Amino acid sequence: MSQAILRIATRRSKLALAQSEWVKAQLEELNPGLSVELREYVTRGDQIQNVPLSQVGGKGLFTKEIEDALLSGEADIAVHSLKDLPSELPPGLTLACTPPREDARDALVLPLGAAAGAGLETLRAGARVGSSSLRRSSQVLNARPDVLVESVRGNVDTRLRKLDEGQYDALILAAAGLNRLELAHRISLHLSPEISTPAPGQGALGLECRADDAVTQDALSRLNDRATHLCVEAERSLLAAVGGGCSTPLGAYATLYGSALTLTAVLAVADGSRVLRRTATGSAEDPQSLGRSLAAELLAAGGREILGLDPAH
């Protein structure tokens, strides 16, 4: 390729850097002669550590500063955890690539030394469960209304330290992040999507670049995974149709079997007292229609009320 250097914009967290280093290695292997360098940025979501994400508000908490670097020409590629990327991108940017997805499930993490095989059902009544996600906490409370879900912020290492110090009895984290940080041994139990439906795009990376940058898009195309692309298209289309952001208690998870996409979605009230979960199957040729139709079904079944929307919305 004619462009010898590509610049990746990344957050500074250990997980973000691990993800970006993986992308760098893949791009250099798939594009001989290409050199990739990392540029680190601090986002608003990284700066606000003492407030639950659901109270911070606003879209793009972990992406705006990185997208600004793309638009200004400081960087060529942004590597995002796709679940953090709003469904609507800024003008001039495009989601150019979704590499093969990691494990999309949520994971229950218990303190070091906890009994093997322990799960949600083994937590004592009143147990303190740490989570930064309204989606996770509402689903956990639906399954175990007798536990206390408390906000926990900070990077993965910080959360694990707080857990092992006894500040929490359990954590709910994304399995993908633990795997990418080589911390899979800390997972006590993978929560099935039927119990804790993941966030749209969870476990997948989204590689973003300028819409008019054909050279970068060509380099990224070699890393794209068709199955991941189709599944996250369905999930993100549902997210866009519902109108939610990263603080909305919404889960969506798609699987591909042959030419059929199956999409499961959930909307929940914060205290877990009501959870709407629906599943639909459609053609892999049109993942966006599947996402929009299931969103309409979810909203009609009571989702508007949960989200506080006008019935005519």
Contacts of 284 (CB under 8 A, 6+ apart): 230, 256, 258, 259, 260, 261
Contact 104, 173 (CB under 8 A): no
The distance in angstroms from the start CA to the end CA of the chain is 48
84 catalytic residue (yes or no) = yes
Residue carrying the six token digits 């175990």:
144
Q: In this structure, what is the dihedral angle of CA atoms 296, 297, 301, 307, given to the nearest 10 degrees? A: -40
Catalytic residue among 76, 84, 169, 213: 84
What's the burial of 159, exposed, middle or buried (CB within 10 Å: 0-12/13-18/19+)?
buried
Rounded Cα gap, residues 76 and 6, in angstroms: 6
Two tokens at 3?
């462009």
Active site positions, annotated: 84
